[in-house]
Amino acid sequence: MDFYFGLAQTVGIHTLLGLSAYIVLLTGQVSLAQAAFFAIGAYSAGMLTVLAGWHVVPALGVGSMLGAVTACAVGFPALRVKGLMLVVATLAFGEGVRLFFFNFDYQVAKGGIRVGPLGGEGFRQIRFFQEHGWTTGEVMLFIWVFVIAVMALLWWFDRSRYGAVLRSVGEDEVAAQSVGINLTAVKLSAMTVGGAIAGAGGGLYAHYTTHIEHANFNVLLATFAIAYPIVGGLRTVFGTLAAVIFVQAFLVEGLRFLGDWRNLLFGALIILAMNLRPHGLFGRHGA
Amino acid sequence: MLDFLQTLSDGVLFGATYALIGIGFTLVFGVMHKINMAYAAASVGGAYAGLLVLKAVAVVPAWMVFLGAFLAGGMLGWLVYVTCFHFIPLSSPLAPLMSTVGMLLLIDEVIVHLTAGMPQNYPAMFDDVMLRFGEFTLRGDLLLVFGISVLAMIGLLALLYRSRLGLATRAVAQQPIAAQLCGIRVTRVNALTFVIAGLLGGLAGALIGASVGALSPLLTTPLTVKGLVVTVIGGLGSIPGAIVAGLLVGGFENLFQQFRGVTERDMYVMLLLFAFLVFRPGGLFPAKS
């Protein structure tokens, strides 16, 4: 049973990561910085519970807020550029953050052992759940409370005026601007909400793996973040969830019996999926 | 001061390979207005293919490995076009981004699969030659890398500005619909652009292998990032921009590697990119619109 709880935890955390990219993609922006906000949430929440002895919930709140603040700060200069330029700008920012954590040491002695982030060695022993005796099932439920809350929020956004505004910017910027929508404000707000979601997801990730290091937050994770909503389609939040289940449960876990060949099939299936369903598995039909 | 010059010149010479990768990105972007995320992976893949195929046949001199990589790169370029671009409608800009990421993962995994994840030694030429000017030296193999890159760039510019195919390519880049109305087959030009970019990429991959001394699938992600950085610093779609930016990034990163260490090196490259995005978002040679 623990195996399925573990899988549900992974799916939950990746769903949060995918949803953080989903809201940014709605405005037509491709951001490869989501892994960076995820990393910021992971390191800050981990440091708060391990070094400052906080409870995990306020620590996640701070991680999420730091993700949002960073996203807002990056969004300002980065959203001046479009298309490929934005992809590269956010990619560079993400790599910059990763390299920052690669060079980041902040350790304190606690009960005879030194804890905290240690550059390339990573940040070990984020054991809040273990120290407080949470079972795998409880951790899974805790993660899914966040996932469901975020999905409900985004689902409600989609049905509100705000969602219509986001999509109108994504469909046609000139038309949106001509009816009086402030493009920068809309994109920046989407970026900030995305940063908050990624920050919370990162905090959960740090506590569930107990060991994070800079290499976890590389370009590959950033591409996965945008891959989920793109593969799932941008019509609803459930597309992202379906894509995460498709990738994590089917491609990663379900094909494990194929051994080495699984990784080969992985890339090929993504190519095939995009050729057959260019608007995503659950996107609109036709052009 | 001598240290500084030595480091700078080594970096600039190696930067020629970044320039080649940057040209590939910029060429595809200029013609199709799409990003080919698989480009650096295909380049390394071409270099591997050249090495593995020829090694399986016989022990061959380095120049034949380079030629093999050049040709294999072109074929991989065509393959990337067919699998990731040809069948996807223009109206879904996100789909090719994702399919080329799939291709990147696929090429990486094929390489890992074929070589059992072990780095492969790559043959070099003139690696025992050393030009000395007092204390200042120039490595023969890096000079060769630089020389071949320059020749490849001259060849590309000649192709683009002195041939009918180049004229068609530039026409499609400027106005695809108008070009089609003039009787140019746009899909054929697109495919050929990928082949040409792939040829350059395979060559770049081989040159990188030769100057590093080994090839590893771990090279693909950093090369993708560097190639994109070079493309943006140079100005999207600008070939001279990509050349200058490649040399600039090569020299810049080598200086920081020397004086700040290898773990911090790329952080400064990213800062350089951010400085460009803030102060000169169009890059060194902004596209005229």
Q: Which residues pair with A113 in a beta bridge?
A: A110
The secondary structure of A77-117 as a DSSP string is HHTTS-HHHHHHHHHHHHHHHHHHHHT-B--EEETTEEESE
- DSSP secondary structure code for residue A214 in this structure: G
Helices (H), B137-219: 140-162, 164-174, 176-181, 186-212
Cα–Cα distances (Å) from A267 to A84, A264, B82, B98, B286, in that order, read: 22, 6, 15, 10, 35
Distant-in-sequence, close-in-space partners of A105: CB < 8 Å, separation ≥ 6: A116, A117, A118, A119
Q: Is A266 within 8 Å of A20 (Cβ atoms)?
A: no
Residues of A in contact with B35 (CB under 8 A): 84, 87
Q: Which of B251, B201, B195 is nearest to B224 (CA)?
A: B201
pLDDT at A284: 63
| pLDDT in the model for residue A60 | 94
- Structural tokens at position B236: 């999207």
Distance from C-alpha of B107 to C-alpha of B111, rounded to nearest angstrom: 6
- Alpha helices by DSSP H, listed for B33-93, are 39-57, 62-81
3-state helix, strand and coil shares in percent for chain A, rounded to the nearest 5:
75, 5, 20
pTM: 0.86
The whole-number pLDDT of residue A287 equals 38
Q: What is the pLDDT of residues A186-226, one digit of tens each?
A: 999 999 999 999 999 999 999 988 889 888 898 889 988 99
Dist CA A208 CA A199 (whole Å): 14
DSSP B198-218: HHHHHHHHHHHHHHHSEE-GG
Task: Give the span between the Cα atoms of B56 and A266, in whole angstroms.
Answer: 28
B105 near A267, Cβ under 8 Å?
yes
List chain A residues with pLDDT less than 50.
286-287
Q: Does B262 touch chain A (CB under 8 A)?
A: no
Cβ contacts of A269 on chain B, cutoff 8 Å: 102
Q: Please answer yes or no on whether A77 and B231 come within 8 Å at the CB atom.
A: no
Give residues 21 to 40 of B whose Cβ lies within 8 Å of A. 29, 33, 35, 37
Measured from the Cβ of residue A176, the count of other Cβ atoms closer than 10 Å reads 21
Q: Read off the DSSP letter of residue A212.
A: B
Give chain A positions within 8 Å (CB) of B102: 266-271, 274
- pLDDT-flagged residues of chain B (< 70): 288-289
Q: What's the 3-state SS for B241-272?
A: HHHHHHHHHHHHHHHHHHHHCHHHHHHHHHHH
CA distance B89 to chain A (A): 7
Which of A40, A8, A41 is closest to A145 using CA atoms? A8
pLDDT at A286: 43
Across the interface, whether the CB atoms of A227 and B91 are under 8 A apart is answered no
For residue A80, what are its two tokens?
A: 């001046």
pLDDT given at position B155: 92
